[in-house]
Amino acid sequence: MNSADITTSSGSHDIDNRLELLGLDHAARQVLKEQADTVLAGLPGALDRLYELISATPEMARHFRDAGHMEQAKSAQVNHWSAILEADFDGEYVQRVKRIGSVHARIGLEPRWYIAGYACLTERIVETLLDVHVAKPGFLKKGKPAAVIANAINSTMKAIFLDMELSLSVYFEEAEKNRVAMEEAARRERELVTNAFADVMNAIAEKDLTKRLGNELPEDYADLVVHFNRALDELAGTIRNVEVAAESIKSGSIEIRTAADDLSSRAEQQAAAVEQTAAAFEQVTNAVESSRINAVEIGGVVNKAHDSAERSATMVATTIAAMERIARSSEDVARIISVIDEIAFQTNLLALNAGVEAARAGDAGRGFAVVAQEVRELAQRSATAANEIKELISVSRGEVRNGVEKVNSNGEALQEIKLLVEDVSARMKTMVSSSEEQATTLREIGTAIGSIDRTTQRNAALAEEFTAGTHALDREVVSIGEALAQFNCDTAQASHGDAGMSDPHHETYLKKSA
């Protein structure tokens, strides 16, 4: 028996090794040949069942164009099984199996479907063998060895497993070859893409933005090439725009620097002016505070004068009341004196009448006449004294009235003084309150001016920092301009709409991608 080598992922094994491992020795192959007619007789039914399963399974049915294609496959399988049942596992058989496995690998028939097909056929073949052997005459007779049917089934199963193992080995071998080939293709493609991008990226690193990707890359990269080249065009255009903007910024930074210098100078002048204003305002605040203190002291003096005026008014009122009482007492004394004068007048008349009567009486009334004369003299002296007292009282009443008038006048004057003192006191209170409010307001203004002074000082410092920043900005803009000038963008398109239009590689990829 000839043998042929078949290579798998695990190494190189010949057919004899496989036959030995499966136990398909000469005796087993002989049993297999003896079952050929039986198996071939049941094979059509088994294939019908298999292709019914295939037709009902979309994943398997997609490998066949139509029913005619399935019939061709059935015929090929009948021929293949005829070769298996001949039990000549030679080089021709191995090549046939290899072709079958290669086809399965090429069309992508997964091992699970292949094994499922073998399971379906095996099931029917075993049923056929059992039907045939069990139906033979004498099968159930005493002494009939059960090993006969076992050998038949075992030999058939070993042949099936051999065929399946060889097909799967080829499938895996082809799959491994495809994997290696795909990895190699991917490596070459990766190397090609890497080198192409490396060339462009190196040019970019050298600040050369004129280099572009060509059409040496696979078609799968067409969109990437177009987009990458367009991005470079955009980058070059952006850099050129940035160069223009940098020049504009440079001009603007010079103006800003000049304005910042002027701002710094003005801020220093303003800070000095605010500082002087703060000092002057502090003097004004101190003066107002001193005025407030003086106003408070004057207010105290006025309050004392007001209190004195109050006391004086009270004393004058008391004096007026006393003078009025004196006047009333004088009036009472005058009335009493009038009564005394009237009594003296009556007494004088009585004494005169008594003297007349005594004269009429003669010597008998001489003593009475003396008494009457004495009484008359007393009445005259009483009248004289009463008149003198009356005159004195009249003078006293006049003096009292004059005193009362003067006291009243003094009272009115004191009342006016009191009112004036009260008005002055109220005005002084208002002045003191206003002075305090002014002092408070001036203190607040002084605090605000102090805050303005500090803010102005900070603004002056910030203006100096801003000036320093503008000078630094000017230097940075110059540095940016020098850095941008190192880029080579002469042949790059600045606008996105024209990006890549002049490059034949772009046109080629655009046509391919279309």
Task: For 242-257, write each residue's pLDDT tens digit.
Answer: 778 777 777 777 777 6
Query: Which of 192, 213, 247 marks a domain boundary?
Result: 192
Q: What is the CATH number of the domain that holds 135?
A: 1.10.490.10
At 447, the amino acid letter reads T
Low-confidence winner among 16-20, 88-92, 469-473 (lowest mean pLDDT): 469-473
Residues 283 and 134 in one domain: no
Sign of torsion over alpha carbons 469, 475, 476, 478:
positive
Report the percentage of the chain scoring pLDDT > 70.
87
Contact indicator for 21, 33 with CB cutoff of 8 Å:
no
Low-confidence winner among 32-36, 78-82, 369-373 (lowest mean pLDDT): 369-373
Residues 278 and 160 in one domain: no
Largest CA distance in the chain: 232
Please report whether residue 509 resides in a domain.
no
Question: What are the residues facing 488 on neighbouring strands?
Answer: 208
Please report whether residue 285 resides in a domain.
yes
Which tokens in the block code for residue 421? Answer: 């003192």
Residues 370 and 244 in one domain: yes
Please report whether residue 385 resides in a domain.
yes
Please report whether residue 407 resides in a domain.
yes
Q: What is the mean pLDDT of the chain?
A: 76
* Nearest C-alpha neighbor of 29 from the set 93, 88, 98: 88
Contact indicator for 74, 33 with CB cutoff of 8 Å:
no
Query: How far apart are alpha carbons 439 and 295 in whole angstroms?
Result: 12
Contact indicator for 336, 389 with CB cutoff of 8 Å:
no
For 318, the enclosing helix (H) or strand (E) is helix 222-361
Q: How many domains does the chain have?
A: 2
DSSP state, 487?
Answer: S
Please report whether residue 372 resides in a domain.
yes
Query: How far apart are alpha carbons 228 and 212 in whole angstroms?
Result: 8
Please report whether residue 225 resides in a domain.
no
Please report whether residue 443 resides in a domain.
yes
Residue 348 CA: distances (Å) to CA of 339, 378, 384, 385, 386: 14, 8, 12, 14, 13
Check residues 327 and 498 and name the one with the higher pLDDT: 327
Please report whether residue 215 resides in a domain.
no
Q: Does the pLDDT of residue 413 top 60, yes or no?
A: yes
Residues 275 and 153 in one domain: no
> What average pLDDT does range 178-196 have in this prediction?
86
Q: Does the pLDDT of residue 298 top 70, yes or no?
A: yes
Contact indicator for 499, 493 with CB cutoff of 8 Å:
yes
Low-confidence winner among 37-46, 362-371, 485-494 (lowest mean pLDDT): 485-494
CA atoms within a 13 Å half-sphere pointing along the CA-CB vector of 168:
16
Q: What is the CATH number of the domain that holds 427?
A: 1.10.287.950
11-14 vs 5-8, strand pairing mode: antiparallel
Residues 462 and 343 in one domain: yes
Residues 272 and 409 in one domain: yes
Q: Does the pLDDT of residue 362 top 50, yes or no?
A: yes
Residues 139 and 240 in one domain: no
Burial 317-349 (b: 16+ CB within 10 A, else e): eebbeebeebbeebeebbeebeebbeebeebbe
Low-confidence winner among 33-47, 178-192, 472-486 (lowest mean pLDDT): 472-486
| Phi and psi at residue 9, to the nearest 5° | -70, -20
What is the domain extent for residue 448?
Answer: 236-485
What digits encode the pLDDT tens for the residues 249-278? 777 777 776 877 777 777 677 777 777 877
Query: How far apart are alpha carbons 341 and 17 in whole angstroms?
Result: 191
Contact indicator for 151, 32 with CB cutoff of 8 Å:
no
Residues 160 and 61 in one domain: yes
CA atoms within a 13 Å half-sphere pointing along the CA-CB vector of 482:
6
Residues 314 and 173 in one domain: no
Residues 121 and 254 in one domain: no
Residue 95 CA: distances (Å) to CA of 3, 22, 91, 400, 430: 11, 20, 6, 171, 129
Query: Which of 157, 192, 227 marks a domain boundary?
Result: 192
Q: Does the pLDDT of residue 497 top 50, yes or no?
A: no
Looking at residue 336, its pLDDT comes to: 83
Query: How far apart are alpha carbons 386 and 394 in whole angstroms?
Result: 12
Residues 20 and 138 in one domain: yes
Residues 115 and 31 in one domain: yes
Contacts for 104 with CB less than 8 Å, ≥ 6 apart? 114, 167, 170, 171
